[in-house]
């Protein structure tokens, strides 16, 4: 088959005699074909099967049509007959007779119960098929009428005849006459009665409206446009003519020239501005309706075309030729699309590139138009998206295959038409790395690897016969040949793996890039990224598309279903589809897809089934349990599924029926359940199966029971012997004796080693020789003699064989019978336990919150402090799991956004970047990162009066460590050292600056929170360390904006306050235990003072409340009621947790009765003062003090010149230029 168009896609072909008429079913995938051989065939073109044949016509059948809604079709043949058929009952319902020559075409009316027919008798007739009568005969043509059709909406008919004319008829009169009147006049009745007769006098039922003349030969076919006032006709003059009509006139618009033989059929494309025509020149031609130029043509080698038909809804056409029918589409309907994370990129029908956001479920406006790509009627074939460059690669089959590389506009809306487009020739193009793409050219069998400037960097010769390429994981391609798929390594230029799967059409990668699905027409093969086959499945219906869900389940769509398959090939139906869609993404219960009009659609699915199966495969029992609990999945099907898939122990949980339960229990070796079921059923067969199973398990107790049930005494005896159960063996002997079963008795006696019993038995059955021998061999002389006596023989008279040693039964080594062997534990899976509710881990509740809080001042109180604190914890937010949680934290939200730090100085080439840093920045941190510690120290000394650098050493080293990376390069040489920048986008060596770890953001979000936590948790040593760390980190740091400087300063102050506070409280605790303190008035005084000072630093309110609470309790217990009162008042003023306020209120009430202090302390609640960070004594306002230039902690002036107690770095009172954090 030669085709000049790459786009015409044949969907179905049949072999038969000449096809003269075709009709599509409007809903089902059916097509009726009327043949020259008198047969009418009904095909399912989707499955490719012949559904039925109708053979009642005599001679060729030319006209055929389905009824739009009813299960009817009509046919007209050379036997002058019009037949109406039911395809349900598969027979002809009735025949309409009247035509006097061949019937050429028959069509149903779209709403009225009418049929229109055209015939070689030069008439057009309209029939009512409900009352099976002829209602109108239209005469006027003076040669064969070849075709007559109703207008799809208006009361018009168009007809074509070999008289070279096309006629348009107005049949509104006919409709008026036959529309059901409410009241019938006499005339009406008359006319209705006479309607069957051709009206000889000016028949007004159907009048010729226009006669269109233009064809030079007979006209074979004519058709209305579905919406526009246009008509197309095809004639023996090899022309296809387009006509336009208005209310009053009609005229020829243009002619489509191209057929070089009689044009036999034509029609308008139902949705696009196209005309299709067929001819005896063996071609199907497609014309542009607006330009009347040829768009495509398709030629068959040997078959002349006779008829063409269009599906009313979907993009399908059928053409009948000398040897059958072909159903085809003009173009691929798969919208080109690609998705990345939460965005789908796709190309609409009018070649606009759009994106769709899965999260917001919104479609973007047009990002780009691709009007220039390919030819107007050829849609793009594929789209490949490059997230790094935000570029797309679009291929089009037009002009022998071409591709375009276009950058999407950055700001969504600007619908650029791709001015920076790079183009080239190629059949497929895909991105293979973020800066490379591969272009495959089928004609010269070559793959070019190109960079983003569209220049070829590498050329690859693919394996012969390659038809398509797909992305194959980074640096790899998947090459598709007709018989295999190759995984091709671009670097090594060779195929690293090959899998013999033929006819692969599409490849879909899983989201994690571990698996790929190879889609064929009817198969899906799942492979790993190394191209090892995992599973494959077959579908009878065509597979259209596939996508992976995040859990690794492949969902694929066929023409009418969405199905799933697990990696192990387990598959099933998810839902049905009423129209074909192309899946692009699955998220939880939502499937995103594109329909054939390239509109994003959202379908809801129930993923329970595959999630359950998936959980089963992964043995994720928790999820299974969850699913079982929450959905109505459990049924017979799931049980048999579980059993089939080798999960009897799970299936067991669902089954009630004892028989099935027994089977499952045996299968999974759950003997307890098996016994239970066997007891219920009590059938020998089950018992014996149980025996076998129990024996295999070594569970002799069950074996014993089953033998008893089965009354298998011999086996039972042997079992007792084997287990060494002598007592029961004796009983068995008794039973045997009782039963009179001598063999059994002998056996038991043997097992027991009971000689006497054996002799006795032999005697009983008159086997004296054996009895004698037994006695003799066991040396029982007396017995021997008595036997001899009884038989009347003497020893001389008998000849004895040599007597062996007596047989003694072995002594049991272990008393096995006492207990079972340690049998294999019945496989009680996690799942079962979970089902039985034994697993607590499943509950989602957290562990109970530990409530261990201790704070020294509690022991003297009347209440138990722990309890109270615990109670507070309950009252408060749950995040405060430990320690003192007393309200919400007010934490400064620090936002940091690095902006390039400006610098002034210039650097030169040849010096390392580390040196540049020091030059580029006046910040100590940058000097540290550059390794220039001396200058960094100088800077700090000047800025902040830093003198004691030892505490900063860890910070210095930390910054320095973070400054360089080690890139392994040429073997044998040390790695290349590169310098890590915080100015990532900067390349100007004068502006680059180093990365400084633990920036202000991380300090505020991590360290500060940890500090608060330590505070809450009453871990004051940790707390002090953390805040010191924060101070040191801030001392040597860099930020980018002025607002961040403010943040940093706030953070410094806050860290300073906390450091002082913790230092005060820690020094109070160092005074000794509460008892010790209570004994020494001096210490008690200091203790009370310190606890009061503890309330001074500006902590977060919640933490201050703690300090106040502590101070209040201490004062109260030591009868400093006045102080306690002031603390209580402050607490109440602060507000916060209700419990604590309650407490304060009570204390307040108590104190107000006697507001006096028992012990005078240096704490004036009404005075303004700060705390000296070194001596922890008040600095009243007005008195001289010194500060630390860095953290701002205050000191009595006597401390001037010493190292700051808070930061431990700076010299007190040495004023510098201040902390510098931004360059």
Partner 1 sequence: MDPFSAEGELLNLHNYFHQGQFQEVVDFDAVGLSKENALPARVFALRAQIALGQAKDVIADVQGEQEPELVAVGALAELAAGNESKAGKIAEKLAKESGDNSTVQVLAGTVLQAAGNNEEALKLLGNHQGNLEAVALMVQIHLQQNRTDLAVKEVQAARRWAQDSLLVNIAESWVGLRVGGEKYQQAFYVFEELAQAPATSSIQSVIAQAVAEIHLGRLEEAEAALQQAVAKDPIQADLLANSIVLNAIAGKDTKELKSSLSSIAPEHHFLADLHEKSSLFDKAATKYSSKVAA
Residue choice 946, 1034, 1088, 1099 for contact with partner 1 (CB under 8 A): 946
Helix (H) or strand (E) holding 590: strand 590-595
Of 95 and 941, nearer to partner 1 (C-beta) is 941
Residue 517: exposure state from Cβ atoms within 10 A (0-12, 13-18, ≥19): buried
Sign of CA dihedral 1044, 1048, 1050, 1051: positive
Instruction: Select the span of 128-136, 313-321, 927-935, 1132-1140 touching partner 1 (CB under 8 A).
Output: 927-935
Strand partners, 768: none
Residue 768 is a binding residue for partner 1 (CB under 8 A): no
Name the DSSP class of 1004.
I
Residue 2 is a binding residue for partner 1 (CB under 8 A): no
Residue 473 is a binding residue for partner 1 (CB under 8 A): yes
Residue choice 21, 76, 887, 931 for contact with partner 1 (CB under 8 A): 931
Instruction: Select the span of 697-705, 714-722, 998-1006, 1188-1196 touching partner 1 (CB under 8 A).
Output: 998-1006
The Cα–Cα gap between 1220 and 1032 comes to 14
Of 973 and 1133, nearer to partner 1 (C-beta) is 973
Structure-token pair, residue 710: 């089965």
Instruction: Select the span of 229-237, 943-951, 1050-1058, 1089-1097 touching partner 1 (CB under 8 A).
Output: 943-951
What are the start-end ranges of the E strands in 830-918? none
Residue choice 728, 770, 949, 1043 for contact with partner 1 (CB under 8 A): 949
Residue 529 is a binding residue for partner 1 (CB under 8 A): yes
Give me the least distance between CB of 393 and partner 1, in Å please: 16
Of 1210, 1185, 1209, 1207, nearest in space to 1196 by CA = 1185
Give me the least distance between CB of 721 and partner 1, in Å please: 58
Of 1039 and 1161, nearer to partner 1 (C-beta) is 1039
Q: Identify residues 202-221 at the interface with partner 1 (CB under 8 A).
A: none
Of 622 and 915, nearer to partner 1 (C-beta) is 915
Of 39 and 435, nearer to partner 1 (C-beta) is 435
Q: 654 and 634 in contact (C-beta within 8 Å)?
A: yes
Of 482 and 954, nearer to partner 1 (C-beta) is 954
Could you tell me if residue 401 is left (phi over 0), alpha (psi between -120 and 50 degrees) or otherwise beta? Answer: left
Give me the least distance between CB of 1219 and partner 1, in Å please: 17
Of 848 and 971, nearer to partner 1 (C-beta) is 971
Q: Identify residues 348-377 at the interface with partner 1 (CB under 8 A).
A: none
Of 82 and 995, nearer to partner 1 (C-beta) is 995
The Cα–Cα gap between 782 and 762 comes to 16
Residue 947 is a binding residue for partner 1 (CB under 8 A): yes
Of 467, 567, 476, nearest in space to 520 by CA = 467
User: Helix, strand or coil for residue 395?
Assistant: strand
Q: Kindly provide the b/e burial profile for residues 868-889, where b requires at least 16 CB atoms within 10 angstroms of the residue's own CB.
A: bbbebbeebeeebbbbbbbbeb
Instruction: Select the span of 131-139, 486-494, 501-509, 575-583 touching partner 1 (CB under 8 A).
Output: 486-494
Helix (H) or strand (E) holding 981: none
Helix (H) or strand (E) holding 707: helix 700-710
Residue choice 121, 170, 303, 1211 for contact with partner 1 (CB under 8 A): 1211
Residue choice 825, 909, 1133, 1167 for contact with partner 1 (CB under 8 A): 909
Of 262, 357, 265, nearest in space to 310 by CA = 265
Q: 1160 and 1144 in contact (C-beta within 8 Å)?
A: no
Of 235 and 994, nearer to partner 1 (C-beta) is 994
Structure-token pair, residue 401: 């295959």
Within 13 Å, how many C-alpha atoms sit on residue 33's CB side?
A: 36
Give the distance from CA 3 to its chain's centroid: 41
Instruction: Select the span of 180-188, 590-598, 773-781, 951-959 touching partner 1 (CB under 8 A).
Output: 951-959
User: Helix, strand or coil for residue 655?
Assistant: coil
Residue choice 796, 847, 893, 934 for contact with partner 1 (CB under 8 A): 934
Of 133 and 912, nearer to partner 1 (C-beta) is 912
Of 9 and 947, nearer to partner 1 (C-beta) is 947
Alpha helices by DSSP H, listed for 499-569, are none
Of 71 and 1201, nearer to partner 1 (C-beta) is 1201
Of 270, 311, 328, 329, nearest in space to 28 by CA = 311
Of 203 and 938, nearer to partner 1 (C-beta) is 938
- Tokens 């009904």: give the residue: 42
Residue 1201 is a binding residue for partner 1 (CB under 8 A): yes
Q: Identify residues 955-984 at the interface with partner 1 (CB under 8 A).
A: 956-978, 980-982, 984
CB 630: neighbour CB atoms within 10 A? 9
Give me the least distance between CB of 1067 and partner 1, in Å please: 15
Residue choice 17, 820, 1002, 1117 for contact with partner 1 (CB under 8 A): 1002
Of 240 and 928, nearer to partner 1 (C-beta) is 928
Q: Identify residues 578-617 at the interface with partner 1 (CB under 8 A).
A: none
Residue 340 is a binding residue for partner 1 (CB under 8 A): no
Strand partners, 66: 73
Residue choice 476, 545, 691, 903 for contact with partner 1 (CB under 8 A): 476
Residue choice 44, 199, 888, 986 for contact with partner 1 (CB under 8 A): 986
Residue 454 is a binding residue for partner 1 (CB under 8 A): no
Give me the least distance between CB of 1097 and partner 1, in Å please: 21
CB 700: neighbour CB atoms within 10 A? 22
**Phi/psi at 922 (5° precision):** -90, 10
Of 372 and 461, nearer to partner 1 (C-beta) is 461
Q: 188 and 164 in contact (C-beta within 8 Å)?
A: no
**Phi/psi at 1171 (5° precision):** -105, 130
**Phi/psi at 573 (5° precision):** -95, 135
Residue 1055 is a binding residue for partner 1 (CB under 8 A): no
Instruction: Select the span of 118-126, 793-801, 908-916, 1159-1167 touching partner 1 (CB under 8 A).
Output: 908-916
Q: Identify residues 491-510 at the interface with partner 1 (CB under 8 A).
A: 491-493, 496
Residue choice 796, 987, 1082, 1160 for contact with partner 1 (CB under 8 A): 987
Question: How many residues bind to partner 1 according to rule CB under 8 A?
Answer: 78
Q: Identify residues 387-446 at the interface with partner 1 (CB under 8 A).
A: 388, 433-436
Could you tell me if residue 134 is left (phi over 0), alpha (psi between -120 and 50 degrees) or otherwise beta? Answer: beta
Q: For residue 981, give Cα distances in angstroms to 523, 788, 956, 989.
A: 52, 116, 17, 11
Structure-token pair, residue 918: 């020091």
Residue 819 is a binding residue for partner 1 (CB under 8 A): no
Give me the least distance between CB of 1033 and partner 1, in Å please: 8
- Tokens 């059994």: give the residue: 744
Residue 489 is a binding residue for partner 1 (CB under 8 A): yes
The Cα–Cα gap between 863 and 869 comes to 11
Of 742 and 933, nearer to partner 1 (C-beta) is 933
Q: Nearest-5° angle of CA 49, CA 53, CA 57?
A: 150
Give the distance from CA 597 to its chain's centroid: 24
């Amino acid at each position: 088959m030669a085709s000049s168009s790459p786009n015409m896609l044949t969907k179905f072909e049949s072999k038969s005699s000449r096809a003269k008429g075709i009709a599509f079913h409007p809903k089902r995938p059916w097509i009726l074909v009327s043949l020259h051989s008198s047969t009418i065939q009904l095909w399912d073109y989707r499955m490719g099967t012949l559904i039925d044949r109708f053979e009642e016509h005599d001679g060729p059948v030319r006209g055929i049509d389905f009824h739009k809604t009813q299960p009817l079709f009509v046919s007209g043949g050379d036997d002058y007959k019009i037949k109406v058929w039911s395809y349900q009952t598969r027979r002809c319902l009735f025949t309409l007779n009247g035509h006097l020559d061949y019937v050429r075409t028959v069509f149903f009316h779209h709403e009225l119960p009418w049929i229109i027919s055209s015939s070689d008798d030069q008439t057009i007739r309209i029939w009512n098929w409900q009352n099976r009568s002829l209602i109108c005969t239209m005469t006027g043509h003076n040669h064969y009428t070849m075709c007559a059709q109703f207008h799809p909406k208006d009361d018009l008919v168009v007809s074509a005849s070999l008289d070279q004319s096309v006629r348009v008829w107005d049949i509104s009169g006919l409709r008026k006459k036959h529309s059901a009147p409410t009241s019938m006049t006499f005339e009406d009745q008359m006319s209705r009665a006479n309607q069957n007769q051709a009206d000889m006098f000016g028949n007004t039922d159907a009048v010729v409206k226009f006669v269109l003349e233009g064809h030079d030969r007979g006209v074979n076919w004519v058709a209305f446009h579905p919406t526009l006032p246009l008509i197309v006709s095809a004639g023996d003059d090899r022309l296809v003519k387009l006509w336009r009509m208005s209310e009053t006139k009609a005229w020829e618009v243009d002619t489509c020239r191209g057929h070089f033989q009689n044009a036999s059929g034509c029609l308008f494309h139902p949705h696009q501005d196209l005309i299709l025509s067929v001819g005896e020149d063996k071609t199907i031609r497609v014309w542009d309706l607006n330009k009347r130029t040829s768009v495509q043509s398709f030629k068959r080698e040997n078959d002349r075309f006779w008829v063409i038909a269009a599906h009313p809804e979907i993009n399908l056409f059928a053409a009948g030729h000398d040897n059958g029918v072909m159903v085809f589409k003009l173009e691929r309907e798969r919208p080109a699309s690609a998705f990345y994370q939460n965005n789908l990129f796709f190309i609409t029908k009018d070649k606009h590139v759009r994106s769709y956001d899965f999260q917001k479920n919104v479609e973007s406006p047009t990002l780009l138009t691709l009007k220039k790509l390919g030819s107007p009627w050829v849609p793009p074939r594929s789209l490949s998206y490059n997230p790094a460059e935000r570029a797309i690669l679009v291929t089009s089959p037009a002009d022998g295959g071409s591709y375009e590389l276009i950058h999407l506009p950055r700001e969504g809306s600007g619908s650029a038409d791709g001015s920076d487009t790079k183009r080239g020739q190629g059949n497929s193009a895909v991105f293979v790395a973020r800066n490379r793409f591969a272009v495959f050219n089928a004609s010269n069998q070559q793959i070019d690897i190109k960079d983003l400037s569209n220049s070829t960097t590498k050329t690859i010769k693919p394996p012969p016969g390659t038809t398509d390429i797909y992305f194959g994981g980074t640096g790899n391609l998947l090459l598709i040949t007709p018989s295999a798929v190759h995984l091709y390594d671009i670097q090594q230029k060779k195929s690293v793996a090959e899998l013999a799967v033929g006819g692969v059409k599409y490849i879909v990668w899983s989201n994690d890039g571990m698996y790929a699905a190879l889609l064929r027409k009817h198969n899906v093969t799942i492979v790993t990224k190394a191209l090892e086959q995992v599973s494959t499945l077959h579908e009878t219906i065509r597979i259209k598309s596939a996508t992976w869900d995040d859990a690794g389940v492949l969902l694929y769509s066929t023409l009418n279903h969405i199905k799933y398959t697990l990696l192990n090939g387990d598959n099933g139906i998810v839902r049905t589809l009423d129209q074909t869609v192309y899946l692009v993404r699955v998220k939880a219960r939502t499937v995103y897809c594109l329909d054939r009009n390239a509109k994003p659609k959202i379908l809801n699915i129930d993923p329970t089934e595959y999630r359950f199966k998936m959980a089963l495969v992964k043995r994720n029992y928790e999820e299974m349990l969850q699913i079982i609990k929450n959905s109505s999945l459990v049924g017979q099907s799931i049980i048999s599924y579980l059993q089939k898939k080798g999960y009897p122990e799970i299936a067991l949980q669902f089954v009630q029926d004892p028989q099935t339960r027994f089977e499952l229990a045996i299968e999974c070796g759950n003997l307890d359940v098996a016994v239970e079921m066997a007891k219920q059923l009590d059938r020998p067969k089950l018992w014996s199966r149980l025996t076998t199973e129990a024996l295999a398990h070594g569970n002799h107790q069950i074996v014993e029971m089953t033998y008893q049930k089965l009354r298998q005494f011999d086996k039972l005896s042997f079992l007792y012997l084997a287990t060494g159960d002598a007592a029961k063996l004796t009983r068995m002997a008794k039973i045997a004796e009782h039963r009179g079963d001598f063999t059994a008795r002998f056996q038991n006696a043997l097992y027991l080693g009971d000689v006497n019993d054996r002799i006795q038995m032999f005697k009983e059955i008159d086997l004296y020789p054996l009895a004698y021998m037994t006695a003799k061999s066991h040396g029982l002389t007396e017995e021997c003699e008595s036997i001899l006596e009884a038989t009347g023989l003497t020893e001389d008279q008998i000849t004895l064989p040599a007597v062996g040693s007596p047989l003694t039964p072995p002594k049991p080594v272990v008393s096995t019978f006492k207990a079972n062997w340690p049998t294999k534990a019945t496989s009680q899976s996690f799942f079962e336990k979970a089902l039985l509710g034994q697993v607590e881990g499943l509950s989602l509740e957290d562990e109970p919150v530990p409530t261990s809080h201790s704070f020294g001042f509690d022991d003297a109180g009347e209440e138990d402090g722990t309890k109270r604190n615990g109670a507070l914890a309950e009252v408060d937010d749950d995040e405060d799991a430990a320690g003192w949680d007393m309200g919400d934290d007010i934490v400064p939200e620090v936002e940091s956004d690095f902006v390039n730090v400006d610098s002034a100085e210039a650097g030169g080439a040849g010096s390392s970047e580390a040196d540049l840093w020091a030059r580029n920045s006046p910040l100590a941190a940058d000097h540290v990162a550059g390794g220039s510690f001396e200058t960094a120290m100088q800077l700090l000394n000047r800025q902040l009066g830093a003198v004691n650098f030892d505490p900063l050493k860890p910070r210095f080293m930390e910054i320095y460590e973070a400054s360089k990376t080690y890139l392994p390069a040429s073997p044998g040489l040390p790695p290349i050292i590169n310098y890590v920048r915080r100015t990532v986008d900067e390349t100007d060596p004068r502006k680059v600056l180093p990365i400084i770890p633990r920036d202000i953001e991380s300090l505020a979000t991590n360290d500060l929170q940890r500090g608060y936590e330590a505070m809450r948790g009453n871990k004051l040593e940790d707390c002090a360390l953390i805040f010191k760390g924060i101070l040191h980190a801030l001392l040597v740091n860099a930020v980018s904006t002025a607002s961040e400087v403010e943040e940093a300063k706030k953070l410094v102050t806050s860290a300073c306050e906390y450091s002082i506070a913790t230092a005060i409280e820690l020094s109070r605790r160092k005074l000794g235990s509460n008892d010790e303190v209570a004994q020494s008035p001096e210490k008690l005084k200091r203790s009370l003072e310190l606890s009061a000072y503890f309330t001074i630093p500006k902590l977060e309110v919640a933490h201050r409340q703690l300090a106040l609470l502590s101070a209040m309790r201490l004062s109260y217990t030591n009868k400093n009621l006045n102080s306690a009162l002031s603390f209580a008042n402050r607490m109440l003023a602060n507000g916060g947790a209700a419990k604590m306020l309650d407490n304060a209120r009570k204390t307040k009430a108590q104190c107000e009765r006697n507001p006096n202090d028992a012990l005078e302390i240096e704490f004036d609640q009404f005075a303004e003062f700060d705390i000296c960070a070194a001596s922890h004594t008040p600095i009243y306002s007005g008195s001289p003090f010194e500060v630390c230039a860095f953290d701002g902690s205050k000191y009595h002036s006597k401390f001037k010149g010493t190292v700051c107690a808070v930061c431990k770095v700076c010299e007190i009172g040495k004023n510098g230029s201040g902390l510098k954090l931004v360059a």
